[in-house]
Homo-oligomer: A and B are copies of this chain.
Amino acid sequence: MDRDEYLERLGATTDESADLFEHFEQRSFDGRTYHVLSDARHGLERGTVIVEDADAVVRGYPSIPRLLVLEPGVQSFFEDHETVVVEEKLDGFNVRLADIGEPLAFTRSGYVCPYTTARARKLLSLEAFFDEYPEQVLCAELIGPETPYTATDYEGVDTHDFRVFGVRDRESGDPLSVADRRAICETYDFNQPRLFGRAPPESAAELVRDTIAELDAAGREGVVMKSETGDAMVKYTTEAQHHGELAYAFSLPFDHGRDFVFSRLIREAFQAAEFDEDEDRLQARAHDLGESILVPMVEAIQDVDDGETIGHRHTVRGDVGSIDALFDHLHDQSMTLEIEADRREDGQRVVEFVKVAESSRDRITYYLEGGTRTE
Contacts and interface: CB of A to CB of B under 8 A. Distances in A.
A272 B290 CA distance: 13
Interface in A252-285: 253, 258-259, 261-263, 265-266, 268-270, 272-273, 276, 282-283, 285
A373 B291 contact: no
Contacts of A276: 298
A50 interface: no
Q: Which of A76, A234, A297 has the most CB of B within 10 A?
A: A297
A11 interface: no
Interface stretch (A102-110, A133-141, A345-353, A362-370): A362-370
A36 interface: no
A286 interface: yes
A66 B234 contact: no
Chain A interface extent, by class: 35 or more
B266 A294 contact: no
Interface string A61-84: 001011111001111110000000
Contacts of A297: 265-266, 269
A115 interface: no
B258 A65 contact: no
A298 B283 contact: no
Given A265-B250, A295-B282, A373-B68, A301 B273 contact: yes
Nearest to A300: B269
Q: Sort A-B residue pairs by CB-CB distance and give the 10 closest, nearest first.
A: A290-B290, A76-B370, A65-B372, A269-B297, A286-B290, A73-B370, A273-B301, A289-B290, A287-B287, A286-B294
Given A68-B372, A73-B370, A286-B290, 17 more contacts: A65-B374, A66-B375, A250-B269, A258-B259, A261-B265, A263-B373, A265-B293, A265-B294, A269-B301, A270-B301, A272-B294, A273-B305, A282-B295, A287-B290, A287-B291, A288-B290, A289-B294
